[in-house]
Structure 1
Amino acid sequence: MTTTRQTCAAAAALASILSTIGPSNAQPVTLRGQDAFGDWQRDKPGTVRLIKPEDLPKPGATPSAANVSRVVARPDSTKPQVPPGFKVELFADGLSGPRIIRTAPNGDLFVAETRAGRIRILRAADGAPKPQISEVYASGLSHPFGIAFFPDGDDPHWVYVANTDSVVRFPYRSGDLTASGKPETVVAKLPTGGHSTRDIAFTPDGTRMLVSVGSEGNDGEGMGRPRGGLQSWSRAHALGAAWGAETNRAAVLAFDPDGKNQKIFATGIRNCVGLAIQPQTGTPWCSTNERDGFGDNLVPDYVTRVRENAFYGWPWFYIGGNEDPRHAGERPDLKDKVTVPDVLLQAHSASLGLSFYSGSSFPPEYRGDAFAAGHGSWNRAKRTGYKVVRIRLKEGVPTGEYEDFVTGFVINDSEVWGRPVGIAVAHDGALLVSEDGNGTIWRVSH
């Protein structure tokens, strides 16, 4: 026979469970400050994070961990997780390390199979769950990554490809499935070695071609001394290129569309892997990998607007005027010149591809927001990244918040099945996500 005491105890236990689960219509959880650091076990579509510069720990607050993930085959019936109201489907598989995806004006999807040295085209009708056509557009390339169409509009004449050592372009007519001519070298030489990815974008007026070039090393190990001393470097561009092995690296470079008139657009950006133009404002943005070796929660990766002539700190400072202890006392003159990035991500997320949502099939509040792909950590005791996040904007301006949008690529503390890289908005408004662990592309629709 159940006693009153037992009934009360059961009710209390149930209330405790319900308070943990929350009501079915609960608002998304927002994690702030150090609570936002977390790891993959706290990732869930809809979870919002806000990390500010004042939340950062001191260098070495935790040991620097080497925790490389092991990529395994995707378990049967396993697929990514997305927010309520969205659907995720396997769009393409069997690809060779698909990385950046770009949507041509006619809806064709250009995919960089970087390690294989080729660009592939996938063609799918609007709403189709699978591509009907898969063709190699061009091969024999040197670790191709960035892809851009020029000029802007419905009838581009060129497809630009950013190799690790050069920028080339192919003559293009809408609907081409294979390159209609040999590539023309536009930028004959980019710095090679170290971080190999090069992304590419054009300013809205079509007068400038932007190319991102990551650093050669982690923290400026090969920089040496500047020619003419510290002050000559500062006079040339207090915000300019580094020197030695880092000359014209850790930067966004600007060229004419034909590759002439090279300039530094912005620098101090350790590795701007994803480069995208915000449609609403025409402003370039970078998805950036920061330095390793300072512990689990330092230095945050970031997604940010990139201002011309701005300096983002690498390698002397990070996230504003925080001095890198490996470079203590070297450049005090630059401390107050550091631009603070807009959106700080969990450290070591390895933020790669970046795309702005310009479709109309997602709810209205998504339009104009950005999506960034986290390839996943190795320099963290508890892994993070391995997901796609939504960068929240308000009237075109980042709020500093980001939201877990596609998760579920991690199996356990040592194994993962997917490593997100590229993001594109399909012609029908779906979001496409590539991952190079198992060579798949996923389609997220609403």
Structure 2
Amino acid sequence: MKVPLFAALATTAILTCPAATYAQSDNLKTLKEFHITPPGEWPTVPQTGPQADKVRQILKKIKVPQGFHIELYALVPDARHMAVGPQGVVTIVGTRKSKVYAVTDRTRSGVGDEVKEFAPTLPKRLPNGPCFSKDGFLYIVEQNRILSYPAAEFFYESPDVAVGEVVPEGQLIPKEEESFNHTARQCRVGPDNKLYVELGQPYNVPPKEKLALYEKFGMGGIIRMNQDGKEREVYAMGMRNPTGMDFNPKDNSLWSNDNQVDGMGEDIPPGEMNRVEKKGENFGFPWYGGGHVRTNEYKDEEPPADVVFPEVEQVAHAADLGLTFYTGDMFPAEYKGAIFSTQHGSWNRTVPVGARVMVTFLKEDGHAAGPSKPFAEGWNDNGHYLGRPVDVEQYWDGSLLVSDDLVGAVYRIWYDGK
């Protein structure tokens, strides 16, 4: 099947906000020096009313296994990737726009009591990817920089927060490679206390003359660095648009989703869930478009000899985004150590697929025991999306939080066996 490929275009469009341009350096400098910015409005997001009622009606259609339940946790506009604070006090929710939200469960009751913008005085650009270190440092990966927020879980109550530059603006990727495409970065702090960041590359399939540049910066792969930004290195390559990753606590292997090539047909190539065992592994893109399917553009080129093929092949074009290992005690024992992931839903299939939460069980040796299976589904209502899950993260009590950027909400999935 032939489809229009907006992703095939070389793009240099920069998503800048005029307000962000004039205030970016001034406010960042002010906050780095622990000074106060000019006061302004700081509204909260209403959590009651018609929108909340409509979301709850949608959730009645969502199917989860027996004994599990799904409910509205909070209304969060444009909710994308999330980071739950180590203390369980606040959940930080990124967006692909210009805002980050802080969701507070003050009574630890499993419901977001308050939702407000995080660090509203500091302009941001595509702040999609938040992650916490175990000692409470928050990192947010934007389109072309990384900022750190010490003790953000407790200092977010003020519009002004302490902030540091891990990677200054314009130094995460080359400025000329900034694009509207494949810029939803995500991060994790690994068992080695280093910061890992996924970097998509902007093309559907990149031209050959771009490969050396992308390999240098880790675009189309995963980079890692110290938490202060030093000792940056490319950790893994051969990915198209990696989004969603987590470390297996059993063996410290890094698992990552990768969204694969468009325009080759409705059912090929498969999406990928990759297992990264060590630094330097190559996962085959752009020679392979997903799984063992060769791309048209590189079918006559010799691929690297040491290509690592996916641990799990996912349904084509389902847009796998979030990924987390379950380590909690709330769910039945069979889920301990399993991977929960999300499928955002296809945009280029005549019969849409995805819009669901998946679960992948592992064998004792740490490899996948089989294909991913639907865990929560129903947002795909006969080809019409009632929601589009983005990320899944474990909450402090062992339940799961699931973000949805179509509805603008975060859901909570919990278990009581009833």
Task: Provide TM-score, normalisation by structure 2.
Answer: 0.79
Distance 1:401 1:195 in 2: 26
Residue type at the aligned position of 1:300: P
1:417 alignment counterpart: 386
1:146 aligns with 2:129: yes
Give per-residue Cα distances to partners, 1:138-161, cap 9 Å, x unaligned.
2322111222223x2xx42x2111
- Does the 8 Å contact 1:200/1:212 carry over to 2? yes
Task: Name the SS of the counterpart of 2:252 in structure 1.
Answer: coil
Task: Name the SS of the counterpart of 1:365 in structure 2.
Answer: helix
Give per-residue Cα distances to partners, 1:202-252, cap 9 Å, x unaligned.
22121x22111001100114x4266xxxxxx6xxxxxx9447xxx531010
Give per-residue Cα distances to partners, 1:86-121, cap 9 Å, x unaligned.
11111112x210011111111034333414423222
2:266 alignment counterpart: 296
1:375 aligns with 2:344: yes
Give, in angstroms, the shift of residue 397 of structure 1: 2.4
2:324 alignment counterpart: 355
1:195 alignment counterpart: 182
1:204 aligns with 2:191: yes
Q: How does 1:100-139 map to 2 (within 5 A)?
A: 100-124=81-105, 128-139=109-120
Give per-residue Cα distances to partners, 1:383-440, cap 9 Å, x unaligned.
1011110011122321232110111112333x21201001111111111111000101
Residue type at the aligned position of 1:64: K
The alignment yields a C-alpha RMSD, in angstroms, of 2.4
Equivalent residue in structure 1 for 2:156, among 168, 173, 177: 177
Equivalent residue in structure 1 for 2:166, among 179, 186, 189: 186
Equivalent residue in structure 1 for 2:69, among 77, 81, 87: 87
1:224 aligns with 2:209: yes
Q: Structure 1: where are the runs of 5+ without partners?
A: 1-62, 227-232, 234-239
Distance 1:278 1:146 in 2: 19
Distance 1:368 1:209, change over 3 A: same
How many percent of aligned residue pairs carry the same amino acid? 28
- Does the 8 Å contact 1:121/1:136 carry over to 2? yes
Distance 1:90 1:75 in 2: 7
Task: Name the SS of the counterpart of 2:256 in structure 1.
Answer: strand
Distance 2:350 2:294 in 1: 24
Q: Which has the larger radius of gyration?
A: 1
* Larger RCO of the pair (alpha carbons < 8 Å, separation 6+): 1
Distance 1:122 1:225 in 2: 40
Distance 1:360 1:66 in 2: 46
Distance 1:338 1:261, change over 3 A: same
Q: How does 1:190-339 map to 2 (within 5 A)?
A: 190-191=172-173, 192-193=178-179, 194-206=181-193, 208-221=194-207, 223-224=208-209, 241-242=214-215, 248-307=218-277, 308-319=279-290, 322-330=293-301, 332-334=302-304, 336-339=305-308
Task: Provide TM-score, normalisation by structure 1.
Answer: 0.74
- Does the 8 Å contact 2:201/2:214 carry over to 1? no
**Greater CA deviation, 251-260 or 111-120?**
111-120
Residue type at the aligned position of 1:83: P
Number of corresponding residues: 355
Distance 1:402 1:372 in 2: 9
Task: Name the SS of the counterpart of 2:71 in structure 1.
Answer: strand
1:31 alignment counterpart: none
2:414 alignment counterpart: 445
Distance 1:133 1:75, change over 3 A: closer
Give, in angstroms, the shift of residue 76 of structure 1: 7.1
1:29 alignment counterpart: none
Task: Name the SS of the counterpart of 1:434 in structure 2.
Answer: strand
1:428 aligns with 2:407: no
Distance 1:418 1:173 in 2: 29
Give, in angstroms, the shift of residue 67 of structure 1: 12
Give per-residue Cα distances to partners, 1:36-67, cap 9 Å, x unaligned.
xxxxxxxxxxxxxxxxxxxxxxxxxxx13579
